[in-house]
Amino acid sequence: MELPPALVEALRRVRSVGAITGAGVSRESGIPTYRGEGGIYDDPEEGDRTVDALSGHTLSRDPDRTWRAVGDLARRASGARPNAAHEALAEIERKAERFVLLTQNVDGLHQAAGSRNVIDIHGSITATRCMVCGLDGELEREALVAIERAPRCDACGGVLRPGAVLFGEMLPVDKVERLQEEFYERMPDLVLVAGTSALFPYIAEPAVVAARAGRLTVEVNPERTLLSGVVGHFLEGPAGDYLPLLAGSFQ
């Protein structure tokens, strides 16, 4: 497996990088994807139940049910370690003058691999927020995998909500603003998309806009997506194979 020579040449001029990742990157760590073949939501019945339990609507009526579904996701992810793709992105961050990582993943594996400037646009599976006083907190993974009821706030006793964005909920305003600033106002030299079918507009658009503006754009995915015809370089294969090559070519 090799990178196209034109891409290797273009990488020499790159100083700033914006990376965008999704479930495909974590799948190589053994975390099931949500959609797509074999995904959690692929099973029509179980998928619908899971989506329903992980919705803002259910949270407001039956937070215990939402938390049990979060605990189920955490169990599926327990023991997962960062893989070569996570490590490669952390390496690119160390080498680049400026780096930002926009991820849809809530598993914290990018941060565990050493990525620092991360916009986890869908939040984190271990984060909590009090629905009464707004206090932010973290749950231990061991507590999360065994959870049966909605946890309570240490400060006020109110019910805590998951820190992840649930189905039917808006994206967090502060993270959307960071995305705008990092990908649009200070457009990176390279926009690199890996392991996501990029169905959400806010995931696909930074790459589309960068490609139109003449920036270097690269997509790494096992299958073609709607982005593949738009980016400058489509690399067909797993992120764990291609991202280390990209990191190695990066000066």
Q: Taking the CB of residue 129, how many other CB atoms lie within 10 A of it?
A: 15
d(CA 234, CA 193): 10
Among 6, 133, 199, 213, binds Zn ion (CB under 5 A): 133
Residue placing its CB nearer to Zn ion in the complex, 127 or 218:
127
d(CA 239, CA 66): 31
Q: Measured from the CB of residue 158, what is the shortest distance to Zn ion in angstroms?
A: 4
Give yes or no for residue 226 binding Zn ion (CB under 5 A).
Answer: no
Stretch that binds Zn ion, among 71-79, 127-135, 216-224, 241-249 (CB under 5 A): 127-135
Residue placing its CB nearer to Zn ion in the complex, 158 or 244:
158
d(CA 129, CA 185): 30
Residue placing its CB nearer to Zn ion in the complex, 153 or 204:
153
Q: Which of residues 135-174 bind Zn ion (CB under 5 A)?
A: 135, 153, 155-156, 158
d(CA 102, CA 193): 9
Among 132, 143, 146, 199, binds Zn ion (CB under 5 A): 132
d(CA 20, CA 219): 9
Q: Burial letters for 159-183: b for 16+ Cβ neighbours within 10 Å, e otherwise?
A: bbbbbbbbeebeebeebeebbeebb
122 is catalytic: yes
Q: Measured from the CB of residue 154, what is the shortest distance to Zn ion in angstroms?
A: 8
Q: Measured from the CB of residue 130, what is the shortest distance to Zn ion in angstroms?
A: 3
Tell me, by CB under 5 A, how many residues bind Zn ion: 8
d(CA 233, CA 217): 6
Residue placing its CB nearer to Zn ion in the complex, 146 or 156:
156
Residues sharing a CB contact under 8 Å with residue 243, sequence separation 6 or more, in sequence order = 84, 85, 88, 89, 92, 194, 220
Stretch that binds Zn ion, among 56-64, 78-86, 102-110, 126-134 (CB under 5 A): 126-134
> What is the spatial order of strands in the sheet that 127-130 belongs to?
136-138, 127-130, 160-162
Stretch that binds Zn ion, among 6-14, 32-40, 132-140, 169-177 (CB under 5 A): 132-140
Cβ(34)–Cβ(46) below 8 Å: no
Residue placing its CB nearer to Zn ion in the complex, 43 or 136:
136
d(CA 172, CA 239): 27
Q: Measured from the CB of residue 145, what is the shortest distance to Zn ion in angstroms?
A: 23
Q: Measured from the CB of residue 150, what is the shortest distance to Zn ion in angstroms?
A: 12
* Residues that are catalytic: 122
Binding site for Zn ion (CB under 5 A): 130, 132-133, 135, 153, 155-156, 158
